[in-house]
Amino acid sequence: MEEITSWGKKQIALMIGGSAVGSPVYLAIGSGVRFFMANMTGLTYEVDRNLMSSVDLSTAQEVLYTFDFSSMEMSGIPLSEFGQFTLSSGGKCWARANFNPITFDGNQELQIQVLWRIV
């Protein structure tokens, strides 16, 4: 089996964080309670989905995505999951997080930063 070189890992990070077709540039938020399983393709209960606000590719072999949600989008949501997708709706989930619910009262905005390291 071949090993991926440091240069190769850097290129993978650039492709994933760039504008390549299939890059996970959308973040969906949800209020589902299902635990993570590797074969999951979506969220339990998706509430909203936004395009990334920015991406930082300045560190070799890393991609730092930033996603922003307004207070209007977050109002009343018991947020308990989020995941990254390639499409503005539908599609398959690349990565997913699940946690105890955080309820937003309409006065708070949300910013989620997701760091991917290609090791």
Given pLDDT bands bounded at 50, 70 and 90, which one contains residue 37? confident
Q: Which domain holds residue 64?
A: 6-117
SS3 2: coil
Rounded Cα distance, 36 and 61, in Å: 25
Average pLDDT over residues 55-74: 94
Classify residue 44: in a domain, yes or no: yes
Write down the pTM of the prediction. 0.87
The strand pairing partners of 110, in sequence order, are 69
- The tens digit of pLDDT for each residue in 82-91 reads 999 988 988 8
Higher pLDDT, 2 or 108: 108
**Percent of the chain residues topping a pLDDT of 90:** 54
What's the domain count of the chain? 1
Classify residue 81: in a domain, yes or no: yes
Classify residue 82: in a domain, yes or no: yes
Higher pLDDT, 36 or 91: 91
Are 25 and 51 a contacting pair, CB within 8 Å?
yes
